[in-house]
Amino acid sequence: MDFGYNKTTQELAFKLSNFMDDHVIPRNAQFLQEFHDNGYNISFFKDLKALAKSEGLWNLFLPHLKDGEPGTKLTNLEYAPLAEIMGRLTWASEMFNCSAPDTGNMELLHMFGTEEQKKQWLEPLLEGEIRSCFAMTEPDVASSDATNVTTLIQRDGDDYIINGRKWFITGALNPNCKVAIVMGKTDPNADVHSQQSMILVPMNTPGLTVVRDLSVMNHHSYETHCELLFKNVRVPASNLLGEEGSGFALAQARLGPGRIHHCMRSIGQAQLALDLMVERSLERKTFGQYLHEQGVVREFIAESMYEIEQARLLVLKAAWLIDQGGAKLARNEIAMIKVAIPRMQLKVVDRAMQVFGAMGLSPDTPLPELWTMGRALRIADGPDEVHLRSIARGAIKKAKENYGQAARFLTPPGREAERDARLDLPFDYGL
């Protein structure tokens, strides 16, 4: 495995960093003020997106981008350091048309959409003309298990009728969000993994209501996290994404790269927290010493540095494996980073808060938002426990297949024959 950044990545990273420094980061205070005053209509977004697009910093996340489609075709490994750079500001990815949930939705449409669906929805998404949302999570069931969803998608002649409730649907209240990809059950009596389907629902369809924008840890984000009600929502049967009953498989295809994109951005957020912590330690004094001269703060800095680098390397390995053989080959690594990266982010941001003192809890720093995002990611796209279960299940399966291999290293006196009988191995030591 070679995780060195190739020439393409180095050039794009340099260009992207300059764009962030020159055009994005200086606008952060303006963004925060406009969001506070005007909600989701930010005055400079359109111009900034056009500038990024003109400079070739557009749709950097799609490995299967076709000739003629807007953007730059990169592998997951090439994209990782770029996502890290964008991730330092929570709203920056949108300027490059690389923000969730649009990235995952574009991948789904790219892989499984019909030509009509691509023309109607994928093309404007690739151009950045509209945004989208992904409606899977439900309030009354454990939605980390996709087989639990209760929203019904029922065939009625040439249409499907949708009834159900979804919540924590990212981006649904954004005025540019024009379509939702909805996960529901088309056949509750089919095999457990063949009951679900996905369907495209325009946000202006009668019967679809945005009930509320949920706060996360009492924090309202620009992304929005909405509760949606579907009451006799009727859409054409041609809006079905993929085949009927393929929803579970489509969800797995979407969540592989989507999860790793979140983790890439989280690395950038943790790195920002570390950078802020170190700079703060250089200017703040307690008990006659600068904070960086205090042993405990030096430990904060050192531990954060190696934890971020460990996390970064694991993300790069997962990205490399996806490039080699798809999300299935990287299944274990995807599960590991989904647990490791948010936990790492929380630890690093928490240390930065301690070094900043009361200011670290205030809106004068990005630390409260970075902490909130890290905590939310421990539940988003499946809670830690689901991924830990998957990791452990794989390890146990491998141990069963190779049972006895580790036991060869045990040396209890006089118990070789008993051990071999238990493992059904030949008893012949030549003694």
Output the pLDDT for position 416: 62
**Res 425 pLDDT > 60:** no
Cβ 367 vs Cβ 356: under 8 Å: yes
pLDDT at 38: 84
Q: Answer whether residue 403 shows pLDDT above 60.
A: yes
What band does 231 get if pLDDT is binned at 50, 70 and 90? very high
Instruction: Give dist(CA 74, CA 5) in Å, integer.
Output: 12
Count the alpha carbons within 13 Å of 431 in the hemisphere toward its beta carbon.
6
366: closest CA among 19, 14, 31? 31
The residue-averaged pLDDT of 257-264 equals: 82
End-to-end Cα, the chain, rounded Å: 45
Q: Is the pLDDT of residue 50 over 60?
A: yes
Q: Residue 410: what residue type?
A: L
Once rounded to an integer, what is the mean pLDDT over residues 211-240?
94
Q: What is the pLDDT of residue 431?
A: 42
User: What's this model's pTM, rounded to 2 decimal places?
Assistant: 0.90
Q: Tell me, what's the pLDDT at 365?
A: 96
Q: Return the pLDDT at 147.
A: 86
The answer, yes or no, to whether residue 33 has pLDDT greater than 50, is yes
Q: Which residues pair with 290 in a beta bridge?
A: 285
- Segments in 284-383 forming alpha helices (H): 295-325, 331-356, 367-377
Q: What is the pLDDT of residues 91-100, one digit of tens each?
A: 999 999 999 9
The encoded tokens of residue 241 equal 């994404």
Cβ contacts of 344 within 8 Å, gap of 6 or more: 266, 270, 307, 308, 310, 311
Tell whether the model's pLDDT for residue 419 goes beyond 80.
no
Tell me the Ramachandran region of residue 303: left when phi exceeds 0, alpha when psi lies from -120 to 50, beta otherwise. Answer: alpha
Check whether 426 has a pLDDT greater than 60. no
Centre a 10 Å sphere on the Cβ of residue 111 and count the other Cβ atoms it contains.
13
**Length of the chain measured in residues:** 431
pLDDT recorded at residue 298:
97
Q: How much is the pLDDT for 429?
A: 47
Residue 421 DSSP one-character state = H
Q: What is the tens place of the pLDDT at every residue in 144-155?
A: 788 889 999 999
Which pLDDT belongs to residue 170?
A: 94
Q: Which of 28-32, 199-203, 403-407 has the lowest mean pLDDT?
A: 403-407
User: What pLDDT shows up at residue 251?
Assistant: 82
Residue 31 has pLDDT above 70, yes or no: yes
Identify the band that residue 258 occupies on the pLDDT scale cut at 50, 70 and 90. low
Q: Which of 119-133, 163-177, 329-343, 406-420 has the lowest mean pLDDT?
A: 406-420
Q: pLDDT digit string (tens) for 111-128?
A: 999 999 999 999 999 999
Report the C-alpha dihedral over residues 172, 173, 174, 177, rounded to 10 degrees: 40
343, pLDDT greater than 90:
yes
Q: What is the largest CA-CA distance in the chain?
A: 85
Question: How far lies 210's CA from each of 51, 168, 184, 206, 222, in Å?
Answer: 32, 11, 18, 12, 16
Q: Does residue 422 carry a pLDDT above 70? A: no
Q: What is the mean pLDDT of the chain?
A: 92
Residue 241 and residue 244: Cα distance in Å, rounded?
8
Angle at 151 between CA 147 and CA 152, to 5 degrees: 105
**Higher pLDDT, residue 431 or 351:** 351
Sign of CA dihedral 12, 55, 171, 68: negative
Q: Which residues pair with 249 in a beta bridge?
A: none
The mean per-residue pLDDT over the stretch 119-139 comes to 96
| Pairing outcome for strands 177-185 and 131-135 | parallel
Identify the band that residue 418 occupies on the pLDDT scale cut at 50, 70 and 90. low
